[in-house]
Amino acid sequence: MKIFSASQIREWDEFTINKEPISSIALMERAAVACTNWIAHKFKSNNLIKIFCGRGNNGADGLAVGRMLIEKKFPVEVFIVGKSAEGSDNFKINLGRLKKISNEIYFLDSQQSLPGINKTNIVIDALFGTGLNKKPSGIYSNIIRHINDSGATTISIDMPSGLYTDTNSTSNTIVCASCTLSFQQVKLSFLMAENESYTGEVVLLNIGLADDFYKKENSNFFLVDKDLIKRIYLPRKEFANKGNFGYACLVAGSYGMMGAAVLSSRACLRSGVGKITCYICKDGYTVMQTSVPEAMCKIFGKTFIKEIKDLEDFNVVGIGPGIGKHASHKKLLQTVFTNFKKPVVIDADGSNCLSAYKSLYKSIPANSIITPHPKEFERMFGKTNNDFERMKLAIAKAKELNIFIVLKGHHTLIATPDGKSYFNPTGNAGMATAGSGDVLTGIITSLLAQRYSPLNSCILGVYLHGLAGDFAAKKLSKEAMIAGDIIDFLSQGFLSIENFQPKD
C-alpha cells in the first residue's frame, strides 16, 4: 500500500471530484457517512456527543457527522471555534444543513466559553485535518488541552488535531485521541512511535477515492500488505530438494551467549533454508549440536570466533548474533566483506563492531542487510532528535552505502538503496524480549539463501517474524512470550501466508 503525503492526499480528493465526477460536498458526505456508521455501531445512542469543529474542511466533516448522528437519535452538541459562521465553502454548507435540525450549536472565542466535558461524554475532534501546516495556538491549543484534560473518549476525524501528516510534531499541542477515523489509507505519522499516544486505535475508512490516481501516483513510502506478501511468497514445487533452498552460514555465538546462535540458527531452519553451517567457538559446540541437531558446525576459536575461512560454498552469510565485542572482530568482518562477494546479513554484535570501526562501512558488500534496533542504529550513524529524523537518516545511509537497513521497531522500517521505505504492519509488544532480533536475523538469512531478492527477503522476513509473534501472543499472551515462541509459530505464519487471497 502506497503512503501519500498531505499534498498528495489533497490531489487525490481533487482527482476523484473531477473523475467521477462528484462535488466536493458530496465526497465529504460520503466520508461523514462512513464515520457516522462506525460511531453509531460503536456507541450507544444515550451517549452525549460533543463535537469540536474548526472552520476548514475538517470542521465541515465534523458538522456533517453531527447532523447524521442527530438523525440517528444521538444527543449532540457542536462547538465551533470563533465568533462567526465564516469558514470554507463546505463548512458553510454543512453548518446551514445542521442549523435546520439542531439548536445545540455554540461558538467558542475565549477560554471562559469552553464547555464542560465529563468522562461519560464522547468527544469528536474535527479541528484540523491533514492540511495542518503550523502549530495550534490561542483558542485552538486551549481547546486541545481542555479535551485532553477531560478524560473523555475522544474520536479524531482523519487526524488528531495538532498532528502533522508527514513530519515531526513533538513541539505541538496535540489531541490525544482514543481512536482516529482516517480516510482511505494510513498516514506516515501514524507509523511513528513518537505519535502512539496521540492516534489511539487507527481505523481506516474507505471513502471511494479514485483508484486511477492511486495507481499512477508515485510514492517512496509503502505499508506492506497481504497483497504484496502474496506476490513475494514463493510456494515450493513438489519435485524440490534441499539444494533448491540454499546453503546458509551463520557466524554466531560465544561463551555465555550461545543462545543467540541457537535462536538464529533454529529460525533459519524453520524459515525453510536447505541446509546451514554454523561457525561457532569451541565452547559452544556441545550447546549447538544438542540444541540444533539439524545444523552443521565448524569451530573457529575457543571462547569466541576469532577468524573464519571457506565461505565460497555458501549462498549467504549471516553474522553477529552473540559473537561478543572483541578487537579481532574487525578482521572477522573484513574477511567476510573481502572474501564473500554476495549480500551479507549483519546484526547485533556485527553492527556494534561496524559502529566501532566505521572505516568498514564502505566495504560492506552491495545489497547487504543490516538489522539494527534504535540504539544500535544510533551507535552506527549518530543521534537524531525524533523518529522522522531517524527515518530520513536511515534512508540516506541506505542509499549512500548501497545496503538495506532494517530499523527494528513496532512498525519496522526497511530503507532501500533506491530511496524507498517499507513499513511493516505485523508484530506486537510481546516481541520486545531478548533474542527476538536473533530470530529475525535467522529468518532473513534463510530467505536470502533461498534466492529471494534482498528486498523481498527483508519485506517477507520482517512480516513473517511479526506474524509469528502475533500468533504467539494470541496463544500465550504478550507478557509470557519469549523469543523461541516466535520460532515455534513460524509454521502458522507460513500457513497463513499460503492462504492469503490476492486482491481482484
Q: Against a cut of 0.85, is the pTM above it? A: yes
Band of residue 450 on the pLDDT scale cut at 50, 70, 90: very high
pLDDT score of 357 more than 90: yes
Supply the pLDDT for residue 10. Answer: 96
* Integer-rounded Cα radius of gyration of the chain: 26
Rounded to whole angstroms, the Cα distance separating 289 from 278 reads: 10
pLDDT, tens digit, for every residue of 46-87?
899 999 999 999 999 999 999 999 999 999 999 999 888 899
Weakest-pLDDT range from 37-41, 45-49, 477-481, 491-495: 45-49
Helix/strand/coil percentages in the chain, nearest 5: 45, 15, 40
pLDDT, tens digit, for every residue of 2-28?
999 999 999 999 999 999 999 999 999
pLDDT score of 200 more than 70: yes
Band of residue 127 on the pLDDT scale cut at 50, 70, 90: very high
Supply the pLDDT for residue 112. Answer: 78
Written as one letter, the residue type at 268 is C
**Residues near 495 by beta carbon (within 8 Å), at least 6 away in sequence:** none
Supply the pLDDT for residue 45. Answer: 87
Strand order in the sheet with 369-370: 221-223, 421-423, 413-415, 404-407, 369-370, 344-346, 316-319, 247-251, 275-280, 296-299
pLDDT score of 178 more than 90: yes
Place of cell 485552538: 140
pLDDT, tens digit, for every residue of 132-143?
999 999 999 999
Backbone angles phi, psi at 371, to 5 degrees: -130, 60
Region 20-44 average pLDDT: 97
Band of residue 111 on the pLDDT scale cut at 50, 70, 90: confident
Which residues does residue 248 pair with via DSSP β-bridges, in sequence order? 276, 316
Region 471-486 average pLDDT: 98
Q: Is 270 helix (H, G, I), strand (E, B) or coil?
A: helix
Cis peptide before 21 (omega within 30 of 0): yes
Please, what is the Cα angle at 121 between 119 and 125, to 5 degrees? 110
Supply the pLDDT for residue 503. Answer: 65
pLDDT, tens digit, for every residue of 226-277?
999 999 999 999 999 999 999 999 999 999 999 999 999 999 999 999 999 9
Please give the distance of CA 242 from its chain centroid, rounded to a whole number: 34
